[in-house]
């Protein structure tokens, strides 16, 4: 298994998209930190970009990579290897490549300019999102055989998590604004890993506002040890469940 | 060596293989023949475990291959179109395969590797290779680990005549070592002097499995290609009736 | 007035109270003393019950003698003018729901000075009732209140005039400083920290000034109500967190000057309601949830030369009309340009975002803050204002922050 991870990983590190992605993140981070008047404000701008770009690149790049690796996967499957090991190796290779890109592109500048708890939260969020959206891409590519349909679905899913979900939440909020829905909101936000990361960042950079009445509910949940643990577990589930489903499917898939 | 029992395969509504039974043994060189889309590649992939049959089972050396993987150590597979990660060099692909098989260096069969001149190409990236060179790489990989069974899917497609000859010589040599060799091809003239048995598949049905001599006798043709042409036209004829 | 006290003392006798002295009780010393005398109290523990001061006396502790009310009585009750209480540890006054027992309570008099004392675990700290020209200087007040209704205020003034409250540190009381019907009073250089309710709380207390005080992390910040002509300068309001916590709550405050204050990391830095003709200048708003919440009931207030940095929301309002003036403030969220290089942005800044209006109506929507959708909404609204109050804008936003 290790050698396949190694090969996938080596292959990805030479991949032009990954290199460009890393450079893009790095340039963005450095220029934002230099442009904004304070590094905390820079962190907020960077957060907006990360919540947008990281899921997008992770899910679409991974899908394309997996579709393009179809023949390589075929080659491996015809070899004396366990299928789930092949698939896991691909996942680990992809996830670690995306994470390393992110660490180089965002992690290092953030640690240089704003090595605070908020900075670390941002880095943690980015890493989680990288892994989660690679995981979702694994599921897409194993479910949908057709490359263009698969990439289409990847884009749709990204749109859903990045934009549509929040619109639905807002709609829900308007509809039920007369009811005490704060706890429901916490539960609903768990359905979107981007939102979870965003709320965690809010609790860092908009702490004063989050100390208000409704904010307090989120703070009481996300800010406590139990809440943090639950959230971490849910984020981990977001990372594990799609890839676990994809492994189950891949074991039975005809290649 | 390979025992195929009542194998059927459906892709959605489309029945690709219908209740195929075959018994393939070492020392045989088998030509898998059939029109395009008849199910040859699916059958090969089923043997390799790449396609999971809807019904029936495949035994390799008496063991069901379902969800197994170790048996593939005994099989060398040359795919129809070998594609490899574009960024990897030929050398890396070989290293990867050797890593996977974990066979001691002195047991490896480098004959094709050298006759195809692979050592000079080791630093070339897979993405820059011609189709023919890729086929050479695939062929070398199939033979490298001296497997007991060789599954070659359209091995000569894309190869230049010289390389085709080299490959054919190698195949012939391997037959002598009591190996099972399965070749799917529609370039029948290539097969004439190698194969001992013919399996003919059409629309997922096994039409026959007989020795080359038997086939020639039955059809009265002296060449495999003629014999097959005769069968194809006959079945065409049958259909029209 | 101080001169009177000191000049009175020039001719006066001095009585020393101590464990090794003939006079071992402060009460006894007071009995013996005459107007204008001084009583020096040496270090030690004094269990005196209630000390009633009804003569013009300077009672001075040496090396912090301890006066213990044992949770039963009022340590000092002052009913005479020209009294000085200095250098004591005054602790454990009685608690009562009926009357307001304090560490030092001043009844209907004038010219009382309470100075350099440590007041610990009292119900009320220093309490001035119907008194004038009193000074409370450099005292340290610490209480351990658990609930608002079980603890009194640190420095409490009622129906008083011309008090000086200076250099005190007040912690753990209900309100740090509470003034009701108190006028012409100076509140300076105090620190009011971690009190259960308000750091500073006043009502109907006109013509007072509050300068160089720090109000930090009080349960509900600072709330001032029903008062005219307030001066607030160089104060620091920080870390007042909570939904009902305000750096500064201005309710029915008129004709006041609020300048050079710093509002740092409050949930709401200033909440204004029914307040008119207040002038806010050179204040700095930094890292607050809401820098300003100006309710529609406020009119003719002016906001000049203030700095707004890193606030989640700069200004929020509940109405569609604004009758207040914003001019030449620095807004770090301003994205305009300054082509003529005069230091003033060429397009107006609208400090009210659509989302802040939304959050006013649907507080739960806060969970969506900084999502792309919300950012998108806000950008659109800034280009084509439709829901945010048209008149609430700064026509001359500064390109660089103001020095304060």
Q: pLDDT tens digit string along C279-325? A: 999 999 999 999 999 999 999 999 999 999 989 999 998 887 788 99
Question: CB distance C241–A181 less than 8 Å?
Answer: no
Instruction: Report chain B residues whose CB lies below 8 A from the CB of A14.
Output: 87
Nearest residue on chain A to B82, alpha-carbon basis: A71
Residues of B in contact with A88 (CB under 8 A): none
Which among C177, C225, C180 is positioned nearest to C198, based on CA atoms? Answer: C177
Average pLDDT, chain A: 90
Which chain B residue lies closest to A5 (C-alpha atoms)? B96
- Nearest CB partner across the interface for C363, out of A44, A52, A213: A213
Size of interface A-B (CB pairs under 8 A): 71
From chain C, the residues in CB contact with A204 under 8 A are none
Instruction: Give the distance, in angstroms, between the CA of residue C3 and the centroid of all CA atoms in the same chain.
Output: 29
Chains A and C form CB pairs within 8 A to the count of 102
In a domain? residue C225: no
Q: Do A7 and B67 touch (CB under 8 A)?
A: no
User: Taking CB atoms and an 8 Å cutoff, what residues of chain B touch A76?
Assistant: 100
Put simply, whether B15 touches A (Cβ < 8 Å) is no
Contacts of A214 in chain C (CB under 8 A): 243, 363-364, 366-367
Q: Which one of A15, A71, A80 has the shortest CB-CB distance to B83?
A: A71
Specify whether the CB–CB gap between C61 and C41 falls below 8 A: yes
Rounded CA gap, A217 and C276, in Å? 34
Q: Which residues of A touch C242 (CB under 8 A)?
A: 211-212, 216
pLDDT given at position C205: 95
Tens digit of each residue's pLDDT (9 = 90 or more) over C34-78:
999 999 999 999 999 999 999 999 999 999 999 999 999 999 999
Tell whether C311 is covered by a domain: no
Residues in Cβ contact with C221 at an 8 Å cutoff, skipping those fewer than 6 apart: C198, C199, C215, C237, C240, C245, C246, C247, C248, C249, C266, C268
Structure tokens at C23: 């006079």
- Interface check for A218 against chain C (CB to CB < 8 A): the answer is yes
DSSP string, B71-89: GGGGEEEE-SS----TTSB
Residue numbers in C near A198 (CB within 8 A):
370-371
Answer whether residue C162 shows pLDDT above 90: yes
State the smallest CA–CA distance between residue A76 and chain B in angstroms: 9
C26, C69 contact by CB (below 8 A): no
Q: What is the pLDDT of residue C367?
A: 86
Regarding an ipTM greater than 0.90, the answer is no
Question: In angstroms, what separates the C-alpha of A41 from chain C's closest C-alpha?
Answer: 7
Q: Average pLDDT of A65-80? A: 86
Show the DSSP H helices in chain B as ranges: 40-47, 90-101, 111-115, 131-144, 161-175, 212-219, 224-240
Q: Average of pLDDT values for A224-250? A: 92
Percent of chain A, pLDDT > 70?
98
Contact C100, C156 (CB under 8 A): yes
Question: How confident is the model at residue C8, as a pLDDT?
Answer: 45
Task: Decide if C353 contacts C378 (C-beta within 8 A).
Answer: yes
Pairwise CA distance, residues A244 & B4, whole Å: 32
pLDDT tens for residues C355-403?
Answer: 888 888 888 888 888 888 888 888 888 777 777 888 889 999 999 999 8
Tens digits of per-residue pLDDT, B130-179?
889 999 999 999 999 999 999 998 888 888 999 999 998 898 888 888 89
d(C-alpha B60, C-alpha B5), whole Å? 11
Closest CA to A157 of A131, A139, A184: A139
Q: What is the pLDDT of residue A210?
A: 80
Task: Please report which confidence band the pLDDT of residue A214 belongs to, taking 50, 70 and 90 as the band edges.
Answer: low
Q: Give the residue numbers spanning the domain of C65.
A: 1-188
Name the β-bridge partners of B11. B14
**In a domain? residue C74:** yes
Span A7-60, pLDDT tens digits: 888 888 888 999 999 999 999 999 999 988 777 788 888 998 999 999 999 999
Residues of chain B with pLDDT under 50: none
Q: Nearest CA to B144 among B176, B172, B106, B92?
A: B106
pLDDT at residue C1 tops 50:
no
CB B183 within 8 Å of CB B191: yes
Q: Does residue C110 belong to any structural domain of this protein?
A: yes
- Please state the separation of Cα A255 from the chain's center in Å: 28
Closest CA to B38 of B75, B79, B12, B9: B9
Chains that touch A (3 or more CB pairs under 8 A): B, C
pLDDT of C2: 43
Question: CA nearest C328: which of C396, C404, C403?
Answer: C396
Name which of C249, C254, C314 is nearest C284 in CA terms.
C314
From C241, C287, C289, C243, select the one nearest C262 (Cα to Cα): C287
CB contact under 8 A, C371 and A195: yes
Among residues C160, C156, C228, which one has the least CA distance to residue C192?
C156
Q: Do A79 and B51 touch (CB under 8 A)?
A: no
pLDDT given for residue C4 in this prediction: 45
Q: What domains lie within chain B, and their CATH numbers?
A: 2-240 (3.40.50.300)
Chains C and B touch (3+ CB pairs under 8 A): no
Is the Cβ of A51 closer than 8 Å to some Cβ of chain C? yes
**Contact B158/B80 with Cβ under 8 angstroms?**
no
Nearest to A72 among B71, B81, B85 (CB): B85
Q: Which of A12, A79, A248, A249 to mutate to test the interface with B (most CBs of B within 10 A)?
A: A79
pLDDT digit string, tens, across residues C188-231 = 999 999 999 999 999 999 999 999 999 999 988 999 999 999 99
Q: Is A177 on the interface with C (CB under 8 A)?
A: yes
- Nearest-Cα distance to chain C for A40, in Å, is 8
Higher-confidence residue of C278 and B84: namely: C278
Q: What is the pLDDT of residue A238?
A: 95
Q: What is the pTM of this model?
A: 0.82
Residue B176, pLDDT score: 83
Check residue A1 and give its pLDDT: 63
Sheet holding B55-60, edge to edge: B14-24, B2-11, B55-60, B63-64
Chain B CB within 8 Å of residue A72 CB: yes
Of B52, B87, B92, Cβ closest to residue A252: B52
In this structure, the number of other CB atoms found within 10 A of the CB of residue A220 comes to 12
Range ranked top by mean pLDDT from A27-36, C117-126, C329-338: C117-126
Q: Is residue C57 part of a domain?
A: yes
Q: Is residue C155 part of a domain?
A: yes
3-state SS track over C44-96: CEECCCCEEECCCCEEEECCCCEEECCCCCCCEEECCCCEEEECCEEECCCCC
pLDDT of residue A40: 79
Q: A191: pLDDT confidence band, cut at 50, 70 and 90?
A: very high
- Predicted local distance difference test score (pLDDT) of residue C147: 87
Query: Does the pLDDT at position A209 exceed 90?
Result: no
How many structural domains compose chain C? 1
Contact B97 A254 (CB under 8 A): no
DSSP 8-class letter at A192:
-
Optimal mutation site among A51, A165, A215, interface C, most CBs of chain C within 10 A = A215
With CB atoms and an 8 Å threshold, state whether A80 touches B69. yes
CATH number assigned to the domain comprising residue C101 = 2.160.20.10
Minimal C-alpha gap between A235 and chain C (Å): 18
Give me the pLDDT at residue A67, please.
93
C115 forms beta bridges with C86, C137
pLDDT digits (tens, 9 = 90+) for A76-106: 888 888 898 999 999 999 999 999 999 999 9
For range A186-211, the mean pLDDT: 87
Beta bridge partners of C46: C67
> 3-state class of C339 per DSSP?
coil
B:88-127 residues touching chain A, CB 8 A cutoff: 88, 92, 96-97, 99-101
Residue B36 contacts residue B42 (beta carbons within 8 Å): no
Q: Is A187 on the interface with C (CB under 8 A)?
A: no
Chain A residues touching residue B71 (CB < 8 angstroms): 80
CB-CB under 8 Å, B49 with A77: yes
Sort out which chain B residues have CB atoms less than 8 A from A251's CB and list them. 67
- Å between A43 CA and nearest CA of chain C: 11
**What average pLDDT does range C10-35 have in this prediction?**
89
Top pLDDT among B215 and C232 is at: C232
Name the pLDDT band for A228 (thresholds 50, 70, 90): confident
Q: How far apart are CA C293 and CA C237, in angstroms?
A: 15
Q: Exposure string (b/e) for A167-177, b if CB count within 10 Å is 16 or more?
A: eebbeebeeee
């Amino acid at each position: 298994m290790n050698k396949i991870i190694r090969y996938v990983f080596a292959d990805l590190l030479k991949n032009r998209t990954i290199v460009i992605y890393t450079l893009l993140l790095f340039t963005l981070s450095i220029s934002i930190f230099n442009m904004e008047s304070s590094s905390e404000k820079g962190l907020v701008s960077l957060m907006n970009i990360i919540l947008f770009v990281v899921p997008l690149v992770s899910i679409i790049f991974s899908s394309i990579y997996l579709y393009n690796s179809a023949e390589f996967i075929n080659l491996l499957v015809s070899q004396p290897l366990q299928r789930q090991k092949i698939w896991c190796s691909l996942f680990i290779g992809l996830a670690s490549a995306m994470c390393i890109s992110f660490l180089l592109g965002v992690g290092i500048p953030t640690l240089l300019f704003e090595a605070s708890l908020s900075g670390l939260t941002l880095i943690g969020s980015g890493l989680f999102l990288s892994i989660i959206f690679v995981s979702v891409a694994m599921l897409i590519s194993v479910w949908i055989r057709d490359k263009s349909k698969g990439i289409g679905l990847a884009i749709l899913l990204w749109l859903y998590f990045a934009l549509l979900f929040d619109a639905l939440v807002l709609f829900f909020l308007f509809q039920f604004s007369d009811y005490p829905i704060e706890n429901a909101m916490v539960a609903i936000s768990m359905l979107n890993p981007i939102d979870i990361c965003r709320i965690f960042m809010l609790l860092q950079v908009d702490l004063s506002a989050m100390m208000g009445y409704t904010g307090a509910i989120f703070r009481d949940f996300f800010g406590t040890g139990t809440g943090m643990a639950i959230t971490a577990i849910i984020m981990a589930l977001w990372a594990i469940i799609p890839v676990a489903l994809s492994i189950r499917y891949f074991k039975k898939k005809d290649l | 060596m390979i025992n195929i029992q009542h194998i059927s395969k459906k892709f959605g509504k489309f029945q690709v293989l219908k209740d195929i039974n075959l018994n393939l043994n070492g020392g045989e060189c088998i030509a898998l023949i059939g029109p395009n889309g008849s199910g040859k590649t699916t059958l090969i992939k089923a043997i390799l475990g790449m396609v999971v049959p809807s019904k029936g089972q495949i035994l390799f050396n008496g063991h069901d291959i379902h969800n197994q993987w170790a048996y593939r150590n005994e099989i060398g597979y040359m795919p129809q179109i070998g594609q490899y990660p574009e960024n990897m060099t030929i050398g890396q692909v070989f290293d990867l395969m050797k890593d996977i098989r974990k066979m001691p260096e002195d047991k490896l069969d480098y004959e094709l590797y050298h006759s195809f001149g692979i050592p000079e190409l080791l630093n070339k990236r897979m993405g820059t290779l011609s189709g023919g060179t890729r086929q050479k790489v695939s062929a070398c990989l199939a033979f490298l680990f001296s497997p007991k069974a060789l599954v070659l899917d359209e091995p000569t497609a894309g190869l230049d005549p010289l390389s085709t000859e080299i490959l054919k010589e190698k195949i012939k040599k391997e037959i002598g070592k009591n190996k099972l060799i399965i070749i799917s091809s529609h370039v029948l003239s290539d097969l004439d002097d190698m194969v001992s048995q013919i399996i003919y598949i059409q629309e997922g049905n096994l039409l026959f499995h007989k020795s080359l001599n038997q086939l020639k006798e039955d059809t009265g043709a002296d060449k495999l290609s003629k014999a097959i042409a005769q069968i194809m036209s006959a079945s065409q004829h049958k259909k029209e009736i | 007035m101080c001169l009177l006290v000191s000049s009175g003392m020039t001719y006066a006798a001095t009585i020393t109270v101590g464990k090794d002295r003939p006079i071992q009780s402060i009460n006894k010393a007071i009995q013996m003393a005459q107007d204008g005398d001084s009583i020096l109290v040496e270090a030690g523990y004094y269990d005196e019950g209630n000390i009633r001061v009804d003569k013009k006396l300077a009672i001075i502790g040496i090396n912090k003698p301890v006066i213990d009310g044992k949770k039963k009585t009022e340590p000092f009750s002052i009913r005479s003018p020209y009294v000085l209480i200095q250098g004591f540890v005054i602790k454990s006054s009685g608690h009562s729901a009926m009357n307001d027992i304090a560490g030092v309570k001043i009844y209907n008099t004038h010219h009382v000075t309470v100075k350099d004392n440590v007041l610990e675990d009292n119900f009320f700290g220093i309490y001035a009732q119907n008194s004038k020209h009193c000074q409370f200087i450099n005292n340290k007040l610490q209480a351990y209140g658990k609930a608002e209704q079980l603890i009194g205020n640190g420095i409490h003034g009622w129906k008083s005039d011309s008090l000086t409250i200076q250099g005190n540190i007040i912690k753990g009381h209900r309100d740090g400083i509470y003034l009701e019907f108190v006028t012409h009073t100076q509140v300076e250089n105090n620190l009011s920290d971690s009190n259960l309710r308000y750091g500073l709380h006043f009502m109907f207390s006109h013509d007072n000034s509050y300068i160089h005080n720090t109000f930090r992390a009080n349960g509900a910040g600072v709330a001032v109500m029903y008062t005219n002509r307030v001066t607030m300068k160089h104060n620091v309001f920080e870390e007042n967190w909570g939904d009902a916590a305000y750096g500064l709550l201005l309710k029915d405050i008129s004709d006041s000057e609020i300048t050079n204050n710093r509002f740092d990391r409050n949930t709401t830095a200033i909440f204004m309601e029914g307040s008119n003709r207040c002038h806010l200048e050179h204040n700095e708003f930094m890292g607050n949830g809401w820098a300003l919440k100006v309710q529609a009931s406020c009119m003719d207030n002016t906001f000049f030369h203030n700095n707004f940095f890193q606030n989640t929301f700069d200004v929020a309002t509940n109405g569609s009309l604004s009758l207040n003036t914003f001019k030449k403030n620095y807004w770090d969220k301003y994205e305009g340009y300054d082509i003529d290089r005069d230091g003033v942005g060429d397009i107006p800044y609208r400090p009210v975002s659509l989302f802040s209006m939304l959050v006013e109506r649907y507080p739960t929507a806060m969970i969506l803050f900084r999502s792309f959708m919300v950012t998108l909404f806000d950008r659109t609204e800034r280009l084509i204002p439709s829901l945010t109050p048209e008149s609430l804008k700064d026509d001359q936003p500064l390109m660089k922050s103001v020095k304060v």
